Amino acid sequence: MEHKDIATPSRTRALLEQHHFNFKKSLGQNFLIDVNIIRKIIDASEIDATTGVIEIGPGMGSLTEQLAKKAQNVLAFEIDQRLIPILDETLAPYSNVQVINEDILKADIAHYVQTYLGHCERIMVVANLPYYITTPILLNLMQRSLPIDGYVVMMQKEVGERLNAQVGTKAYGSLSIVAQYYTETSKVLTVPKTVFMPPPNVDSIVVKLMQRPYPQIDIDDEDRFFKMTKGAFTQRRKTINNNYQSLFVDGKKHKKAITAWLEAANINPKRRGETLTIEEFATLYEQLKNFPELEI
Ligand code: SAM
């Protein structure tokens, strides 16, 4: 029997009724009911028959179905057990989809990628993300050295703007630096609330992040580097000098060393975190090695 696309109001409503499904707000369940938006997301991700796709939160399969038609394989992580029998039904025509009923923040992604997408030439993450955990999901995927080539992901507008922010703007912060370090980011499109069921409270944006072959700067301990950059933004209205006094162990006792460290990196201690480029943070990081009394 020929079915309508899942991403239509009528098919989505029919599935909801048939399975007595009610949305869980706490899981960020806003399902896509517009196939045109899905096509734009898929076009931006340049998927072909050699691409493996990781999807986070397939819901009832609206995006998954269209991904399955273009990609070699789709690996989708869905936390909500109630959606598994629905996905079994909606995705039955697509033998190249594997649904894993696990929390994306806890799953052994490397293992599943190796098992189900190991043979694919290219791996893309394509998802309409659960907004309440957008940042942890992206940080977790980027920082784990997974074989991912890029991401085309829908998220709430504010987070998308932070990922894509230029130095000196209000949206620029530690998240912009992590994203810039690992990827080249660009905006794909803004999305109206009307394409979701139920409509979310916030505006949405689709962002593309392509993994860089090498990070933009050379850092030997990424964890330490990102803790250091985050420290510059703890209180955005304060100078970096002030913020770093709170970051370092016994920072208030090391005021002189902090000023000396900033000056050694040619950074005026009165500047604010949002004015520092990623290269300037890299210089600060290198200089920090000469100030062993400054412990993070
Ligand atoms: N892809 C579907 C669509 O566009 O119609 C649903 C997108 S909805 C915004 C987010 C989905 O992520 C929901 O299906 C939700 O149950 C799922 N989800 C929420 N938290 C999750 C987690 N920690 N791990 C995996 N999936 C999660």
Round to whole Å and give the CA distance between 198 and 165.
29
Q: Tokens 């990102």 — which residue?
A: 226
Tell me which residue has its CA closest to atom 1 in ligand 1: 58
Per the annotation, where are the binding residues? Answer: 30, 32, 57, 78, 103, 128
The one-digit pLDDT tens for each residue of the chain (296 residues) are: 557 899 999 999 999 999 999 999 999 999 999 999 999 999 999 999 999 999 999 999 999 999 999 999 999 999 999 999 999 999 999 999 999 999 999 999 999 999 999 999 999 999 999 999 999 999 999 988 899 999 999 999 999 999 999 999 999 999 999 999 999 999 999 999 999 999 999 999 999 999 998 888 999 999 999 999 999 999 989 999 999 999 999 988 999 999 999 999 999 999 999 999 999 999 999 999 999 999 99
Q: Ligand 1 centre and the CA of 132: distance in Å?
A: 10
What DSSP assignment string belongs to 207-268? EEEEEPSS-SS--S-HHHHHHHHHHTTSSTTS-HHHHHHHHSTTGGGGHHHHHHHHHHTT--
Per the annotation, where are the binding residues for S-adenosyl-L-methionine? Answer: 30, 32, 57, 78, 103, 128
Q: What CATH number belongs to 222-288?
A: 1.10.8.100
Supply angle C-alpha 20, 25, 31, rounded to 5: 65
Q: What CATH number belongs to 9-211?
A: 3.40.50.150
Residue type, 53: V
Minimum-distance ligand 1 atom for the alpha carbon of 32: 5
Round to whole Å and give the CA distance between 252 and 227.
18
Minimum-distance ligand 1 atom for the alpha carbon of 59: 14
Read off the pTM: 0.94
What DSSP assignment string belongs to 47-88? --TTEEEEEE--TTTHHHHHHHHHSSEEEEE---GGGHHHHH
Round to whole Å and give the CA distance between 99 and 77.
6
In the structure, which protein residues have their CB atom closer than 6 angstroms to any atom of ligand 1?
27-32, 56-59, 62-63, 77-80, 83, 103-105, 128, 130, 133
- Domains in the chain: boundaries: 9-211, 222-288
Residue type, 4: K
